[in-house]
Amino acid sequence: MTQGSPVLDRSSKTSFNFSDRDFHFIVKFIGEHAGIVMSDAKRDLIYGRLAPRLRKLQLTNFSDYCNILKSGDREEIELFTNALTTNLTSFFREQHHFDFLQKELIPALVKNKTSRTLRVWSAGCSTGEEPYSIAMAVSEVLPAGWDFRLLATDLDSNVVNTAAQGIYKQERVEGMKKPLLKRWFHRGTGSNEGMVKVRPELKKFISFKQLNLLSNWPMKGSFDFIFCRNVVIYFDKSTQAVLFDRFAQQLDPSGHLFIGHSETLNNVSDRFSLIGNTIYHRAT
């Protein structure tokens, strides 16, 4: 294995030794720990994301950092995973999913379910925009008297904490319909001007938890539908197949799965039938 050249960390005018051995260890480690596949093209990204950790730990090279990961330091492994996890989301992203919820799925569940309970999972909730969007969409059409609960999970504990706080810059909700803003958000004043905060009336439906999708799932019971969007693109095909099989097992027999616009179950899983644009119905 050849020794890589030191890489200049422009933000601090320093450089950290980052060998090929270090790079390949990190790629393997994040793959085994979180199922995330990172190619050779991600070398600069890995360096940039992890350099702050080396500075914090007062290290001079990635080899020493890799040794910390090898030692099984749980806190550092969590910080390492957080640093390499990409979180990009927005309110009502992929609007057609929420249109389907309100116009077709929720009315069908209200008509056909024998119990007045609704259980939903946002798997890969990032900073919370997705689960809050789901909760708003459902709340607008679900009749009174229904027991609605939404589980929101993510691998990155930092974004889970951000999501649970429910505080966003005003620009994050620009474009949202004004009645929704008025009903579900507080506008910040004074030192909080330019910010919005999710109202308790919406938060009460959601439980935020840190969860690695590749680990054991503690949930009991089944979900009526699951959102797992723009998550599996980081996994290889074999890992995707296992994950979709587990989703099928976790869904009600008539449950639905929503995935991201760049994802597909074609040639990956036969547990679902495509019924719309990245909307699937459990088949087996």
The active-site residue out of 49, 93, 172, 187 is 49
Amino acid identity for residue 25 in this structure: F
Paired residues of 274 in beta bridges: 280
C-alpha separations of 118 from 86, 143, 179, 255 in Å: 30, 11, 24, 11
152 forms beta bridges with 122, 208
Residue 154 bears catalytic tag:
yes
Give the DSSP letter of residue 6: P
CA distance 141 to 136: 9
- DSSP letters, 254-269, are EEEEEE-TT---TTT-
b or e along 196-209 (b: 16 or more beta carbons within 10 Å of the residue's beta carbon)?
bebeeebbebbebe
Containing H/E element for 225? strand 223-228
Instruction: Provide the sign of the torsion angle of the four alpha carbons 248, 249, 255, 256, taken in this order.
Output: negative
Evaluate whether 125 touches 208 at the Cβ level (below 8 Å).
yes
Spatial distance between the Cα atoms of 236 and 234, rounded to a whole number of angstroms: 7
Q: Please pick, among 22, 119, 154, 271, the residue that the annotation labels catalytic.
A: 154
Overall size of the chain counted in residues: 284
Is the CA virtual torsion 159, 165, 169, 173 positive or negative? positive
Annotated active-site positions, please?
Answer: 49, 154
